[in-house]
Structure 1
Amino acid sequence: MKTIEMCAGAGGQALGLHNAGFEHEVLIEIDEHACSTLRFNNEKLNLGWNKIVEGDLKDFANFSAAAYQGEIALVAGGVPCPPFSKAGKQLGADDERDLFPTALKIVQSVKPLMVMLENVPGLAESKFQPYRDAITSHLSDLGYLSEWKVLQASDFGVPQLRPRMILVAVQKPHFKHFEWPEPIDTPTPTVGDALFDMMSEKGWEGVERWREMADGIAPTLVGGSKKHGGPDLGPTRAKAQWQALGVNGHRVGSLEEVPGPGFKGVLMRNGTIRPGTEGMPLLTVPMAAKIQGFPADWSFVGNKTNAYRQVGNAFPPPVAQAVGEKLMEVLRIVQGEYRAA
């Protein structure tokens, strides 16, 4: 049940797969703040993740991956999204940040039973069909059958419209055992319901009225990159969507800015309330993490910008868990077939 987790970030996918029953043998992540987050939670929550490698995935592919051949059931990860994101130039294979080839090199070296890769829904566009076909063909040459599918986070209890493109590959004799997860039966909480306890913890009198306003699912959180984006909730369109939910999306708030008694609105630098946002609170990093599907006991290491970037770029743990549980079913069937043989 061991895994290799590539581009682990703050651990959204890793946590979901852990909750599905997988055991992480090694996690690779290049960002120092995200690695600190992984180490901190691994120790605090006693997760038992064996090795957290802070470094370039290409170095791991070239020098370390082959040592894990025959020991790994699942190679998983979320390779960088800028080559396929609508927020960028969508250069695909021509983008130097494209790590799909590196991920496939690791698969070739490790020879796991299964592979799971996630990315932005932009990868599902018709312009990238040849690229997807090339990956599918390469995996076939390596002995895998594979399938792409866009999953919506809100179908799995995450109060956010966050579609993700998922690739699952399984060794050819066993792919027949894999099925995609179905949306859960229970209603997805609204932003108001999900954040009510956090918004009311300091005694804000207007929190009930705010919950009624926040009666919907959040737009996709945007984490930004080291070059672009900061601790705010995205471009103008996203800010407008947050405002419709009663949230001031112009920046991410500090814990000191959680609304308390007498809260009227977020102040600007000159001490006046930002026009058009009266009574609209800011999201804090823990609130954004709740919107992303992280549990309350998951901590993020770094200043506000670094912490929010980790949250905004994460893969929602409940979605990863849902796919992981289906992969675990495949693993158990295969293990049973080997025992029977």
Structure 2
Amino acid sequence: MRSVELFAGGGGLTLGTHLAGFTTEVVAEWDRWSCDTVRENRDRGYSLVQGVDVHEGDVRDVDWSVIPEGVDLVSGGPPCQPFSAGGKGNAADDNRDMFPATAEVIRQLKPRAFIIENVRGLARAAFSDYYTYIQLRLGHPEITANDGESWGDHYARLQSEHTSVRSDLQYKVIPKLVNAADYGVPQQRWRVFFIGFRSDVDAEWSFPTPTHSAGALRDTQANGEYWERHKVAQKYRDFRVRASADSDVSLKPWRTVRDGLRGLPNPTVYGSTKYLNHVLQPGARSYPGHTGSYIDAPAKALKAGVHGVPGGENMLRDVDGTVRYFTVREAARLQTFPDAYQLHGPWGEAMRQLGNAVPVMLAETVALSVREHLDVAAFNACKAQATARRRVKRDSATA
């Protein structure tokens, strides 16, 4: 199935959608380091980005009319800064808000489905109106804003028209806030997803159910299975994961930092001959509020910043209390990037790409579910057409 990626970054969504059976034809991204990452992996023959056409620059400047009709999926993660808890929270008043640009690309390409994701902050109460506006804007991409029309006025018009409008292009939009740890990612990373299916696609879709839980991890640590598997000394068996009373212990355990990094050697400043991007970055230190990610729990959400991120999210905290920065490869593991995928650029730029990325495993899970529903919808449509043809043929024969 054919796909197009917007705001591709270092390629998390691209890799995940490809693993789910989509073939990404075009990726659009303004950051040159991210573009170099995709290009260099493509040029050295890495299969998951083979043949990808990389457009470096603003997605609004891409000539989408040259893309042949029949795109199955548009995916992407518009810049999160307008909605991030660490930013100013200017939403639509921030010139980095690319949700209108995303809707415009959907209007032009008319994909059968889309997967759009962003930070948890977008679901904050302060953005409730804009959150709803995004859903309506994506659901009715042909109802565009008029010249000079504010997003608030456009929102009011969408609200009044969406129940009665009969435009040719409409999407059923399903929003969902999820924690990547619930899907096997060794990191507590909350993301908002907007999944849309074109109105002519008969897809009764719901977000994939979680496969992992905090309660199951607590159980495996409580009964010793986790510690024995990793050969952790008794004095270091410290419980750091909280689980609600209703956490489903029948699921697989949340994966921890230790799980995610298993098999990687301890990093050195000289790097590794076996693992790409596995070079020790010196200088990490701990202080109140800047403590790193504990090794026997899922990591904190990696951030696009490096040295100055507020909680030390890009540091590993070992059982003895010592801290060090994650290597690029370790951060890639926590984002479930394949070991054979190389991140381009110095440590800070590579970590920025990973901090902005969608975990590959989560992207694959969502995209696979979308693809399966597109497959079923296409099969049912073909079956209905065949039935109609047989009926016409039968009626003609009896006339």
Which residue identity is paired with 2:102? A
Aligned to 2:296: 215
Asked whether the 8 Å contact 2:315–2:325 carries over to 1, the reply is: no
2:37 alignment partner AA: T
Cα deviation code 1:36-90 (max 9, x no counterpart): 1101222331333331111111102xxx113336220011100000000001011
Counterparts in 2 of 1:39-58, with a 5 A limit?
39-43=39-43, 44-47=45-48, 48-58=50-60
SS at match of 2:186: coil
Mapped pair 1:167 → 2:194: yes
**Native 8 Å contact 2:303 2:313 kept in 1:** no
SS at match of 1:174: coil
Partner in structure 1 of residue 347 of structure 2: 304
Shift of 1:233: 6.9
**2: CA distance, partners of 1:223 / 1:112:** 30
| Structure-2 residue corresponding to 1:232 | 307
2: distance between equivalents of 1:320 and 1:22? 12
The runs of at least 4 aligned residues of structure 1 exceeding 6 Å deviation read: none
Measured after TM superposition, the shift of residue 337 of structure 1 is 2.3
8 Å CA contact retained: 1:119, 1:165: yes
* Structure 1 Cα separation of the partners of residues 258 and 334 of structure 2: 10
Partner of 2:104: 105
- How far apart are the structure 2 equivalents of 1:140 and 1:40? 36
Q: How does 1:60-75 map to 2 (within 5 A)?
A: 60=62, 64-68=63-67, 70-75=69-74
Tell me, what secondary structure is at the counterpart of 1:217?
A: coil
Q: Which residue of 2 aligns with 1:29?
A: 29
CA contact (8 A) 1:10 1:34 kept: yes
Q: Does 1:313 align with 2:379?
A: no
- Could you tell me the TM-score, scaled by structure 2's length? 0.68
Q: Is the 8 A contact 1:223 1:311 kept in 2?
A: yes
Q: Structure 2 matches for 1:128-143, cutoff 5 A?
A: 128-141=127-140, 142-143=169-170
Structure showing greater radius of gyration is: 2
Distance 2:23 2:58 in 1: 22
Residue type at the aligned position of 2:70:
E
Q: Given the superposition, is the C-alpha separation of residues 239 and 175 from structure 1 closer, same or farther in structure 2, using an over 3 Å criterion?
A: farther
SS at match of 2:345: coil
Matches within 5 A, 1:57-96: 57-60=59-62, 64-68=63-67, 70-96=69-95
1:155-197 alpha-carbon deviations (Å, 9 max, x no partner)? 1111111000000111124364222111124323211232243
Structure-1 separation of matches of 2:365 and 2:318: 30
- TM superposition shift of 1:96: 0.4
Q: 1:49 and 1:153 mapped to 2: Cα distance?
A: 29
* Larger RCO, structure (CA 8 Å, separation 6 or more): 1
Is residue 69–residue 111 contact of structure 1 (8 Å, CA) maintained in 2? no
Question: Which of 205, 209, 213 is residue 182 of structure 1 equivalent to?
Answer: 209
Q: Secondary structure at the match of 1:53?
A: strand
Q: Distance in 2 between matches of 1:175 and 1:49?
A: 31
Unaligned runs of 5+ in 2: 141-168, 212-250, 269-293, 386-399
Equivalent in the alignment of 2:391: none
- Residues in 1 aligned to 2:188 and 2:14: alpha-carbon distance in whole angstroms: 21
| 1:338 Cα offset (Å) | 3.0
Query: How many positions carry a matched residue from both structures?
Result: 290
Q: Relative to structure 1, is the Cα distance of residues 183 and 92 closer, same or farther in structure 2, using a 3 angstrom cutoff?
A: same
**Letter paired with 1:234:** V
After TM superposition, give the deviation of residue 145 of structure 1 in Å.
1.1
What percent identity do the matched residue pairs reach? Answer: 34
- For residues 91 and 171 of structure 2, the distance between their equivalents in structure 1, rounded to whole angstroms, comes to 23
Say which SS state the counterpart of residue 165 (structure 1) adopts.
Answer: strand
- In the alignment, the residues of structure 2 paired with residue 330 and residue 49 of structure 1 have an alpha-carbon distance, to the nearest angstrom, of 26
TM-score (norm 1): 0.79
Return 5+ residue gaps in structure 1 as ranges: 203-212, 225-230, 248-276
CA contact (8 A) 2:300 2:313 kept: no
- Alignment-derived partner of residue 270 in structure 1: none
Instruction: Say which SS state the counterpart of residue 198 (structure 1) adopts.
Output: coil
Q: Which residue of 1 aligns with 2:2?
A: 2
Residue identity opposite 1:312 in structure 2: G
Question: Per-residue deviation at 1:241?
Answer: 9.8
Alignment partner of 2:26: what SS?
A: strand
**Cα distance, 1:307–1:131 mapped onto 2, change above 3 Å:** same
